[in-house]
């Protein structure tokens, strides 16, 4: 993975977002930021919570979108999944949310994974996020990406929320898979061994015909057998869109924000 040279671009979705506000905003706002990597500009967005909702050092969520939101506009990732939920609750949503965008024809591995982690680093630094309460979630391709980034940095995240994802290709003709597990005789056991210390809540739709739930069921079973703090929710009437009911699950948010990254010496 090549080293990224990053420069903070003070651009914003809303006019004046780079200036110091005269009064404290009553609601959280979405701002646009950029990473410049080897001369190429990569746009992403950040939800910055209202200070009254989040305090001086808010938790941070990294959200990974699905295949339909790839590109370079920096805007599509907020339109599906976590973005609409945050927008509907922007008065009191208590976390910074980072929305990177994978380039066209890229999955959340290799350079795209590096971009996501670089955006997370940059936004956490700028908006004073809590590194011990940093969470990772994604849907579909981003569900695979959640496992991908967690395997790459197994001690980075305090909790994971993968939605309608998996570990191995959902169909023979697709190459979507978690690359650190490629070649493993038992990818489920390998993942569980490496991530059993991280709390996980997996969501899937029982009628999903794009990424069938069998893979997530096996992942859940392997994590459970390894002694992990893992939950699995399968919506009986949902197809591939399990993200809307997942992010609308009231119990998710108190559970997520209660998680804190353990000290390295405490990790088994």
For residue 262, what pLDDT is reported? Answer: 83
Domain for residue 218, yes or no? yes
Domain for residue 4, yes or no? no
- The CATH number of residue 155's host domain is 3.40.50.1820
Tally of domains within the chain: 1
Domain for residue 234, yes or no? yes
**Does residue 230 contact residue 244 with C-beta atoms inside 8 Å?**
no
For residue 230, what pLDDT is reported? Answer: 98
**Does residue 232 contact residue 202 with C-beta atoms inside 8 Å?**
yes
Domain for residue 64, yes or no? yes
Q: Sign of the C-alpha dihedral, residues 96, 97, 102, 103?
A: negative
Domain for residue 9, yes or no? no
Domain for residue 151, yes or no? yes
| Segments forming the whole domain that contains residue 125 | 29-261
For residue 5, what pLDDT is reported? Answer: 43
Q: Sign of the C-alpha dihedral, residues 255, 149, 134, 37?
A: negative
For residue 106, what pLDDT is reported? Answer: 93
**Residue 229 neighbours by CB under 8 Å, 6+ apart:** 199, 200
Count CB atoms within 10 A of the CB of residue 131.
15
For residue 265, what pLDDT is reported? Answer: 53
Domain for residue 99, yes or no? yes
pTM of the model: 0.89
Domain for residue 2, yes or no? no
Sheet of strand 134-139: strand arrangement: 29-37, 40-48, 96-99, 60-64, 134-139, 159-163, 200-205, 230-235
Q: Sign of the C-alpha dihedral, residues 258, 25, 18, 103?
A: positive
**pLDDT one digit per residue (tens) for the chain, 268 residues:** 443 444 334 333 333 344 444 455 678 999 999 998 777 889 999 999 999 999 899 999 999 999 999 999 999 999 999 999 999 999 999 999 999 999 999 999 999 999 999 999 999 999 999 999 999 999 999 999 999 999 999 999 999 999 999 999 987 546 789 999 999 999 999 999 999 999 999 999 999 999 999 999 999 999 999 999 999 999 999 999 999 999 999 999 999 999 999 876 544 4
């Amino acid at each position: 993975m090549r080293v990224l040279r990053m420069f903070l671009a003070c651009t914003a979705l809303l006019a004046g977002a780079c200036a110091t506000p005269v009064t404290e905003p009553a609601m959280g706002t979405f701002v646009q930021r950029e990473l410049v990597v080897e001369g190429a500009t990569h746009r992403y967005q950040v939800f910055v919570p209202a200070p009254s909702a989040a305090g001086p050092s808010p938790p941070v969520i990294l959200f990974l979108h699905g295949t339909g939101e790839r590109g370079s506009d920096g805007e599509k990732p907020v339109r599906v999944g976590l973005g609409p939920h945050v927008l509907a609750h922007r008065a009191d949503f208590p976390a910074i949310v980072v929305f990177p965008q994978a380039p066209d024809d890229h999955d959340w591995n290799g350079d795209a994974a590096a971009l996501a982690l670089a955006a997370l680093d940059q936004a956490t630094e700028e908006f004073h996020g809590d590194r011990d309460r940093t969470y990772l979630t994604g849907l579909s391709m981003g569900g695979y990406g959640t496992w991908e980034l967690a395997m790459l940095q197994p001690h980075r995240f305090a909790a994971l929320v993968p939605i309608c994802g998996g570990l191995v290709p959902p169909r023979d003709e697709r190459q979507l898979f978690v690359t650190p597990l490629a070649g493993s005789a038992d990818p489920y056991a390998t993942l569980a061994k490496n991530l059993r210390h991280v709390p996980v809540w997996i969501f899937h739709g029982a009628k999903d015909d794009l990424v069938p739930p069998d893979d997530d069921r096996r992942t859940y079973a392997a994590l459970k057998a390894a002694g992990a703090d893992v939950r699995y929710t399968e919506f009986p009437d949902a197809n591939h869109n399990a993200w809307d009911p997942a992010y609308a699950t009231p119990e998710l948010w108190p559970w997520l924000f209660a998680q804190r990254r353990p000290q390295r010496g405490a990790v088994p």
